Each structure stands twice: as structure tokens, then as C-alpha cells.
Amino acid sequence: MNKHKLFVASCLSIATASMVFAIRGEVAGPLSQAFHITNEQMGLVFSPAFWAFTIAIFISGNLVDIVGMRRLHILSAAGFIVGVALIVLAPHPTEPVVSLFDHAGTTLLYAGFFMLGLSHGLVEGVINPLMASLYPDEKTRRITSVHAWWPAGLIIGGLLAVVMSNLGIGWELKLSLILVPAVTYLVMALSVSYPKTERVTSNVSTASMWKEAARPLFLLLLVCMCMTAAIEMGPDQWFPRVMGELVPQLSPEHGSGVLFLVYTGGLMFVLRMWGSNVTHKSPVVTMIVSSFLSAIGLYWLGALDSGTSAIVALTAATLFGVGKTFLWPTMIGITAEQFPRGGALLLSLMGGTGLLSVAIVLPIMGARMDQYGPGAALQMVAALGAILTVIFTGLWLYFRSRGGYRAVAITEEGITRHKVA
């Protein structure tokens, strides 16, 4: 078993999933024209990015111990390849369709994006328990490092797609960029053996695993995950428009949306890749600081107006970018450290719940923008950061009263706790 190779394959797989997110926005317009579909129908085509992901991650959480992480990882890569092929090879209707399923081409288009969403869920369902199994003594650090490749994929996919657009290259080739990392990690997954999950090697029963999901601390963390995911991913979907409206001198025509996402994505990549030791030493304190910075940064961004300078806007963006960096991976890491008996199931529940919350918060943000403007939408999400700051401060006091935060380890005799911070 080659730990380094498995780590690299995991990084490539999460980068593949994020490239789908980045490139999808760039090809939306050309796809609508090519398939003669409305914006509403295009939204329906993209919808599996959320619910197919949730289905896949929940399924993988239950199957990963039975089927094995290797098979599911291979299946995710195959899903990306098949998904791209279905979209690129789908025949184009010659006129608008009433329903997506009235024409074979639009049906295949929908099926292709469904496969991409499904594959993303499988990736998330595999790499988190894989990191926990490979590095039982540094779960949060390794999970954070591998998730650094989410912003890396956004940057790479987004910039390449923009360059290709400026060169007049068609949407088919843009979408095909996804095949490069997908095929690469498929070959790597086929050539290396995978470990069994920590739960299986520790002989924890399925019944015991499910009992972990009912523990009060886990349920509280699920609620927190809804808010952390909404803070990290919700605003990203709206920033190209929001920055153009709040700061006209950074209008979309000048690339503010792309530059903003590239900038914050770059911050996330650097901090997750080389600052993951911070989360390992003190996960709960990391969540307190991250929640607070996210709240301040988002509230400040929401207060920008036409007279705001680019420097002030980037300063606010920096606070938000640093704040949101560790939210998702640290939540997954805390789950892995506190509930090792819950195995892949609890990790999948945490990830699936997070993305479901994004699907819920996006239309809420849109309605807020329509009614009160883009700034109000950002400040609404900023309130979640304030709530999380209070909750995690309470959790820090709770762990401190018990002698400090301790990562739980399963032993043959039962459970032992190792103090982290």
C-alpha cells in the first residue's frame, strides 16, 4: 500500500470535482444555445450537482465498508468520464423542447450532469474515510490538506476555461478538461491497493456505527455543518454579480468575479496545504477564529458601495477568504476524530448535509438580493458566522472543562482519548 500515491490520487479526485463546478459556469451559456433550452431548464440540468452528490455520499457512507474504498474511487473516476462523454456526444435538438426528457439530446445532457454530481459524491464519500484510515494520528491535518485541492481545481478549471473562451475554443473542449485529472487518478487507483476503513479494522459493528449518529454532539455538529457550508459555498455562487453591483469599478466586464474567486481560492489552497497543522493542533479554536473572520469579512463585503476602493474590497475579501478556508475540512476532521466508531457513515452524513444546506441557502440568498440588494444577502450569511462563533466558543469551554479537546482513538479494549488542544 502506497500512502503517498493514495494521497495524490485523492487530491486529484477532489480537484476533478471542483473543476466541474468551475467549468460548468463557463459553459452554461453555450450549452443553452446548443441545446435550445431556457435558463430555467439549464438550472434543472445543473441541479444534480447538489442532490445527486447527496445521494452518492449517503450511499457510499453505507457501502464503503462493504464494497471497499478502491472500487468506489474507481467508480467515481469512471463516472466523471462517462458524464463528460454523455454531454459532449449528446445530439442537439433543432428547436426548443417543452421538457428536458422530450428529446434524446437533452435527456443525455441531464444524465451527464447527474453522473458528474454522483461522482462528486462518491469522491467525498471515499477520500475522507481514506485519509482517516491512512493517517489515524493526524486526521484533521490530512483531511484539510487533501481538501486544499478543491480551491486548486476551481482556480485551474476557471482560468483555463476563461482562456479557452478568449481563444474562441468551443464548450466541448472546455468540458473535456475534466477528463485529464479524472483519467489520471483512475489509472492511479487501479494500480494501488487501498486499506480497510478504521471502523472495519477495529471490528466496530454496524449497529454501533449507527448509534454514533444519534449522539448529541454529532447532531450539534450537523447543525453547525449546515451553517459552515452555507458560509463557504453560498456566497461564491453569487460573487461575480455581487461584486459588480456593489463595486462598479470592479465590474464583471473587468473580470472581478473571476479574479475574486481566484484570489480567495488561492488563499484557501495555500492555507489548507501549508497551514493544516493549525487545524490539527486546535480544531475547535480554528473553528472559532474561522467563523469570526468569515462573519466580519462577509458583513464588510455586504457594506461595500459604489465609492469603495478596490483595496478596501480586497481587504474585506481577504478576511472572508481566510475565514472560510478551514470551515469544511475542519468540520470533517472533528467528526473523524470524535466519532471514529461512526466510520464513513458519519463522515458522509456530515458532507451530504453540508451540500444540501448550500442548495437551500442559494435561493434564499437570491430572494434576499431581489428584495434588499446584494449587500443584505451577504450580511444575512454573515449572521451565521456570528452564531457559529458563539457555538464553538461554547464547545471549547465544554472540552476545556473535560481537560481539553481530545481526539478519540479506537483500541482493542474500547476507546481511548488523546489530548490535542
Range of the domain at 417: 201-421
The pLDDT of residue 418 is above 60: no
To 5 degrees, how large is the angle CA 418–CA 420–CA 421? 135
Task: Give, in order, the Cα–Cα distances in Å from 84 to each of 49, 75, 182, 248, 269.
Answer: 14, 14, 10, 36, 26
Last residue of a domain, one of 154, 175, 196: 196
258: pLDDT confidence band, cut at 50, 70 and 90? low
Specify whether 190 is located in the same domain as 209: no
Last residue of a domain, one of 196, 230, 265: 196
What is the share, in percent, of the chain residues with pLDDT greater than 70?
90
255: pLDDT confidence band, cut at 50, 70 and 90? very low
Q: Which residue has the cell 471497499?
A: 68
Task: State the first-to-last Cα distance of the chain, in angstroms, to the nearest integer.
Answer: 31
Model confidence, pTM? 0.80
The pLDDT of residue 223 is above 90: yes
Specify whether 209 is located in the same domain as 89: no
**For residues 108 and 395, what is the distance between their CA atoms, to the nearest angstrom?**
47
Specify whether 24 is located in the same domain as 150: yes
Last residue of a domain, one of 140, 164, 196: 196
Task: Give, in order, the Cα–Cα distances in Å from 172 to each of 120, 166, 304.
Answer: 20, 15, 38
Specify whether 253 is located in the same domain as 372: yes
What is the share, in percent, of the chain residues with pLDDT greater than 90?
39
CB 68 within 8 A of CB 194: yes
Instruction: Report the mean per-residue pLDDT for the chain.
Output: 85
Specify whether 192 is located in the same domain as 217: no
The pLDDT of residue 173 is above 90: yes
Specify whether 385 is located in the same domain as 267: yes
Specify whether 21 is located in the same domain as 52: yes
CB 87 within 8 A of CB 174: no
Specify whether 215 is located in the same domain as 247: yes
- Whichever domain contains 158, its CATH number is 1.20.1250.20
Instruction: Provide the domain count of the chain.
Output: 2
Question: Nine-digit cell at 345?
Answer: 457513515
Specify whether 149 is located in the same domain as 261: no
Region 386-390: what's the mean pLDDT? 97
Specify whether 289 is located in the same domain as 184: no
Query: 44 or 81: whose pLDDT is higher?
Result: 81
Q: What pLDDT is stored for residue 71 in this prediction?
A: 93
Give 63-81 pLDDT, tens digit per residue.
888 888 999 999 999 999 9
Specify whether 252 is located in the same domain as 168: no
